Amino acid sequence: MWWAAAALEEALREAQRAYPSETGGLLLGWSGQPGMVFISQVIGPGPGASHRATAFSPDAAWQEEQLAYAYELAGRRLQYLGDWHTHPRGTTRLSRTDRATLRHIAEHPDARAERPVMAVLAGGPLWQISVRQQVHGRGGPRPLILEVWKSPSD
């Protein structure tokens, strides 16, 4: 899987800003077959989000507006891929809640994400990153190998 450098840097900036509380957001891009994921953009938690040491609640209405705007701006060629969040002072291991969220996304028709991904940025102020993909009907989330992609203009 590939994550655009600018989008990854945006997620890392948000992780630092919220540290030592949790934060997160949405992952946008393209996905074909399992494991073929291209993250081109992230959406943050939103101005009304609530951040705590071991959980956060996003500003869902704001995120939906941002998602609709990004979708239109990209000529409707962008997909919601899943979520990203931080585990400050923690590990990249998915919690029970994280696993349930991935299953919920995969089963929710409005999400239109049969094989959602979840990225966890753990630690802080130095961050480890893990990305997993839920493959419907094939057990738990599978780890993906992360490659950072830089555009020619970077």
> What single letter denotes the amino acid at residue 30?
W
Phi, psi of 83 (to 5 degrees): -125, 160
Q: Which of 60, 50, 52 is nearest to 83 (CA)?
A: 60
In eight-state DSSP terms, residue 9 is H
pLDDT of residue 39: 97
What CATH number does residue 132 fall under?
3.40.140.10
pLDDT tens digits along 132-147: 999 865 678 999 999 9
Q: Residue 87 falls within a domain, yes or no? A: yes
pLDDT of residue 2: 96
Cα–Cα distance measured from residue 114 to residue 16, given in angstroms and rounded to the nearest whole number:
31
* Residue ranges of the chain with per-residue pLDDT less than 70: 136-138, 153-154
Where helices occur in 4-147 by DSSP H, the ranges are: 5-18, 60-73, 96-107
pLDDT of residue 137: 58
- Report pTM: 0.94
Q: Residue 154 falls within a domain, yes or no? A: no
Identify the domain containing residue 81 by its residue range.
2-149
Q: Residue 123 falls within a domain, yes or no? A: yes
Number of domains in the chain: 1
Q: Residue 138 falls within a domain, yes or no? A: yes
